[in-house]
Chains A and B, each alone.
Chain A
Amino acid sequence: MNEPDDHFEEKDPPRPAVRRTFRRLLPWLRPHRRTLLVALFTVLVITACQLAGPFFFGRTVNAIEKDLGMETVVLLAGAFFASFLVAAGVGYAQGLMLTRMGIRVVTAIKERVFGHLLSLSVKFHESNPVGKLIARTEGDAETVKELFSRVAISILQSALAFVATLTTMLVVSFRTSFVLLLVLPVMALGAAWFFRVIRGVYRELRRRFAELSGMITEYVQGVPVVQQFDQKERALRLLDERNRAKFRTEMRSWYLDYGFWGAFLFVEVLAGVAILWFGAKGILAAAIDVGTLLMFLEYTRRVFEPIIHFGEQLTQVQRGLASADRVFDLLDTPPEVADAPGAAEEASFTREIRFEDVSFSYDGVDKVLDGVSFTVRRGERVALVGPSGGGKTTLVSLLCRFLDPTGGRVLLDGRDLREFTQRAWRERIGLVLQEIYLFPGTVLDNLRVLDEDVAPERVEAAARAVTADSFIEALPERYGADLAERGTNLSLGERQILSFARALAAEPDLLVLDEATSSVDPGTEERIQVSLERLLTGRTAVIVAHRLSTIRGADRILVVRKGRIEEEGDHDTLLARGGLYRELWDLQSAGNGNGRPEARP
């Protein structure tokens, strides 16, 4: 629960419309038509070799039986080995070819999915845990790959081998092999039943395992709590429960698995025995010879192989199709914020940005914002304050056009923001978030967000401007130093200051700060304040803050509560007014003696 993304559990979509999914998969294969044609040809070659093997084996035995001479025997045995060698060699080449194709296809799919996810709105990302999105781009795509690279062709191969072997046997000697016609349908039905049941069990097993490791994760994280409340016995009991649930399901899968294949194996023996019996009768009636009987015994083994193979592949196919469905589902999600056709590619912020009667609702029912209007003129510093959940963050999202308003307009120099491309407007903004986001990579890459067009000098100047240079210079490789996972090799304050430098390096017309300084202690905050002041000097800024002190110098303060702007004015005006701002101010400054005396509870 503390890391909800960790053990994200896959839900299979209700029932993939198989044909539709296949039809959507086909276009991905189009660039690889030639590969597929060659693969198809190899399937034929391999099947032919598979048939030839037992044939030559039988002939060799016959040659021995009938004393046709050593040369014939060696020749036939050589043919037997050659047919195998060809099958093996062609199979090897086919495998590599198809795998390479599968990897290519799936790389293309991954890139498409990733690109699509990047184009989806922040609202989408807020409602979809990161773990799930990674599972879509990486895990599901990998499963689809199996479908392309091996499974489809090997099913074809199995089916072909099965039909060809059976046909050959029936044609060569119907009286010996007709028993297979009786046995096979029964086995096919049994197998169909088995595959259906085992699939359900496997799904349950996956769920049980996810539950088990989820439980362990939580309780390992929660050991201090468990110890505090003296609940170790309970934790162990819970583990036993989850352990046993998984064990039971796993055993059920084994019982089913081995039970079925045990029966299957026995039927194979029955079929072999029947072939022997009728073959012997055939020899008695001079209809076949011993060599043919041996050939048939070999064929009988091979006629069952494709069924076993098919069974293994079927689960893969189903899994692949389910994954493909999830991927397509995602690709079908339309971006909620999209560039209008003919939107302007350049935006300039010369006069003002204006919210005009803006409303917003995530679900169409509850309004997070309700008729908000205000203006930020160029050069101004405007602050948004108010209780949490009041709509401040949504305002920032609208300002950056992560969201489009559901009512009203946001105007840039009088033109609706939607008349510009997202890129055009965002090029004008520098955003600093409360949760400092640094990605693995160098300091330089982080500060210019991978944009190699931004000169290192510009980045360094930005870093100097916000005093980030002091600690960057201390890093072993300075701007080329690698930031570990989310910048954990820097302190919180340093990371915060880096995010200021990043905003500044973008040379923005408008700075947007979302609660940029609420998560540090006073000492660090002081240091950050200095950097912040340097960042803000001479720039237009919209600042969201819990700490009222940080925005005391703002030109205008908007007090946002319950989706509306309740008060607006500068610090002194608002204090004098004695409204919500005054109340918040008093609460926060109670410690320093210049606020309203606090009534002790």
Chain B
Amino acid sequence: MSLYFRWIWGYWRKRLGVLPILLFFTVVSTAVAVAWPLVWKFALDAARTLAPGRAEAMGRVADAVLILLLVGVGRSVRNFYPMMRARVNGLFEMAVRRDYFEKILHKRHGFFTKFRTGDVVTRLTDDISGFSKIAWFMCSGVFRAFESFSGLVFSVVAMLILDWRLGLITITPLPLMMFIWYRVRVLVEARFKKNQAAISKTNDLLESTFSGIRIVKAYNAEDRFRKKLGAILSGRVDVEMDVVKLWALLDTFYATLSNLGRVLAIVFGGLWVLDGSLTIGTLYAIFLYVDQLVRPMMDIPQFFISGKQTTVCIDRLLELADFEAGKRDDDGGPEIVTRIEDVALRDVSFRYDNGRAEGALAGVSLTVPRGRRVAVVGAVGCGKSTVARILSGELRPAAGDVLVNGRPLPEQDLPSYRRRVGYVPQEALLFSDTVRENVAFGRPIDEPALREALRIARMDAEVAAFPKGLDELLGRRGVRVSGGQRQRLAIARALAGNPDLLILDDVTAALDAENEEALWDALAGAREDLAAVVVTHRVATAMRADHIVVLDRGRMAGEGTHEHLLATCPPYRRLARSPIP
């Protein structure tokens, strides 16, 4: 409990300035809640003294009207209280989201294998800003309950002072109401979850049907899929009705209870008015109080419900933050890398967190000097991508060293090293932004350099063909690019920084033979002194390298030239033979 309190307090501490405003509103709100029925009492008791011919009593009615207007203004002012709360919610929302987004930006690779993107995004968006979740609870949840509680207490006190007998009678149904509301809300929550599960089942079917439409059609399965949807949907009718029934029942129930209070007020109040121990004005005032008490009856239990929800959401954020807490992706030494003369792996071992053998490395060594091209080849799962990711600085070896210019990489400044590296991962990632922004990617790169990078990556002609050229938006509101174009844009992005070391991880998979060849020609012509590491399982690609390293299940199986390896390295021979006789 205190953990959550401290967490929330951590954000509140920086926003204490808004507290007086919120407290002021709470006071206004409570005052209005208490005063409003009292003013009506005054007005009605004044009206009651009216009788034909007694015009002087109108003076008291006029007083009542003035007070009513005043309190009416207060009521309108109170109406801005939720707005103020919404503002504070919004400020918290931004702060929390920023904090955790920043933490995620510093996470190392393992984080992203553990958490799916969609999951992380939900935690950063809906968990924070959804109704009755973190941001809502932090201000609205707390202060709404506070407002309600204060209004409730003072109203009840006012009722008891006005007439303790009537007050007691009318508030008896209220605790029961609060309890039932809470219980049913919890029940609704459970049924609602069931309904959500049914909805996602529908979505799963829709998703798999639309993405596999060719197969559905080719196997004449349209009707069968429609029937399957029909079955899921008819199952949903009852689940949904269950939710609706509860809600409707709840609605009806609390309205009935509050009306019961009002009827009790009239009957008993009426009795006492008859015997002269109560005025009509007091009766009406209590009548109005009962009406006002309904909302607090729901707000106070809501505080506990959303509080519980919020602790779950906070846990989910903390889970993100606590994963490998204290480790940052860019931990390293102070030395700035200004130029990469050579990069080497010395006896490097690595194993992924999932413990599987795929992609693991054991005792891998290689050297990439300037101007040389090294190919890393091997079957899928042999660890060749891991080599690329270690060289790029994304992964850190479990044992062994990464040497840059002969010195261990961890002693040097990692961001400065990365700036000298152009790394193109297997899966090219672009952003919904212009071509220019995607290639320059925040770095100060002038237009000629951008165009040159696009030219080498064999993307210049296609970009020129976009309606807005370099300023064309990529993604959902711009042009859709193919897998190959995406790869080539990623290559252009890597080249635009004028790197000393280029790492291509199997990028040629998305390029056909023609395009691949042209890319290599352009690269060779433009950057003679570039060091390059090419990860591939295409032997034709490896052949163009100066030096080939063969990996077999994470170990070095051989290295040398193509001819040398054909003669001496059985795994390489297998690789060369396998797809092509």
- Could you say which of A167-175, A185-193, A209-217, A464-472 contacts chain B? A209-217
B430 touches A262 (CB 8 A): no
Interfacial residues of chain B within 526-562, with CB under 8 A of chain A in the complex: 537-540, 542-544, 562
A231 to B476, CA, bound (A): 23
- Distance in Å from the Cβ of A424 to the closest Cβ of chain B? 9
Tell whether A244 is near chain B: CB-to-CB under 8 Å.
Answer: yes
- Distance in Å from the Cβ of A377 to the closest Cβ of chain B? 22
- A-B residue pairs, 4 tightest by C-beta: A591-B539, A269-B72, A1-B475, A521-B380
Q: Mark B78-106, 1 if CB is under 8 A from A, else 0.
A: 01101100110011011001100110111
**B residues within 8 A CB of A85?**
256
The residue in chain B whose Cβ has the minimal distance to the Cβ of A255 is B83
A436 to B310, CA, bound (A): 41
Tell whether A234 is near chain B: CB-to-CB under 8 Å.
Answer: yes
**B residues within 8 A CB of A486?**
208
- Distance in Å from the Cβ of A524 to the closest Cβ of chain B? 7
B576 touches A77 (CB 8 A): no
A118 touches B226 (CB 8 A): yes
Interfacial residues of chain A within 519-563, with CB under 8 A of chain B in the complex: 520-526, 546-550, 552
A15 to B128, CA, bound (A): 34
- Distance in Å from the Cβ of B21 to the closest Cβ of chain A? 15
Interface size class of A (residues with CB under 8 A): 35 or more
Tell whether B456 is near chain A: CB-to-CB under 8 Å.
Answer: no
B475 touches A4 (CB 8 A): yes
B220 touches A522 (CB 8 A): no
A228 touches B476 (CB 8 A): no
20 chain-A/chain-B pairs, Cβ below 8 angstroms: A1-B431, A64-B273, A70-B274, A88-B255, A215-B432, A223-B105, A227-B330, A230-B330, A239-B97, A257-B83, A276-B43, A276-B47, A280-B58, A283-B47, A294-B284, A422-B220, A485-B204, A521-B381, A523-B379, A591-B576
**B residues within 8 A CB of A209?**
125
Tell whether B461 is near chain A: CB-to-CB under 8 Å.
Answer: no
Q: Mark A194-227, 1 if CB is under 8 A from B, else 0.
A: 0000000000000001001111111111111111
A118 touches B216 (CB 8 A): yes
Tell whether B309 is near chain A: CB-to-CB under 8 Å.
Answer: no
Picked from B93, B229, B251, B577, the residue with its CB within 8 Å of the CB of A592 is B577
- Could you say which of B12-20, B174-182, B416-424 contacts chain A? B416-424
Tell whether A243 is near chain B: CB-to-CB under 8 Å.
Answer: yes
Tell whether B9 is near chain A: CB-to-CB under 8 Å.
Answer: no
Picked from A80, A251, A423, the residue with its CB within 8 Å of the CB of B86 is A251
**A residues within 8 A CB of B90?**
247, 250-251
Q: Mark A26-63, 1 if CB is under 8 A from B, else 0.
A: 00000000000000000000000000000001001101
The residue in chain B whose Cβ has the minimal distance to the Cβ of A499 is B215
A138 to B198, CA, bound (A): 12
The residue in chain A whose Cβ has the minimal distance to the Cβ of B287 is A57
- Distance in Å from the Cβ of A578 to the closest Cβ of chain B? 17
Interface size class of B (residues with CB under 8 A): 35 or more
**B residues within 8 A CB of A590?**
539-540, 543
A533 to B208, CA, bound (A): 29
A443 to B104, CA, bound (A): 38
Tell whether B7 is near chain A: CB-to-CB under 8 Å.
Answer: no
**A residues within 8 A CB of B204?**
440, 485
A520 to B537, CA, bound (A): 10
**A residues within 8 A CB of B513?**
584, 587-588
**A residues within 8 A CB of B97?**
239, 243
B225 touches A269 (CB 8 A): no
A402 touches B284 (CB 8 A): no
Picked from A77, A224, A265, the residue with its CB within 8 Å of the CB of B270 is A77
**B residues within 8 A CB of A111?**
226, 229-230, 233
**B residues within 8 A CB of A57?**
266
B61 touches A280 (CB 8 A): yes
Picked from B206, B218, B234, B266, the residue with its CB within 8 Å of the CB of A77 is B266
A133 touches B210 (CB 8 A): yes
Picked from B64, B218, B431, B514, the residue with its CB within 8 Å of the CB of A426 is B218
Tell whether B252 is near chain A: CB-to-CB under 8 Å.
Answer: yes
- Distance in Å from the Cβ of B291 to the closest Cβ of chain A? 9
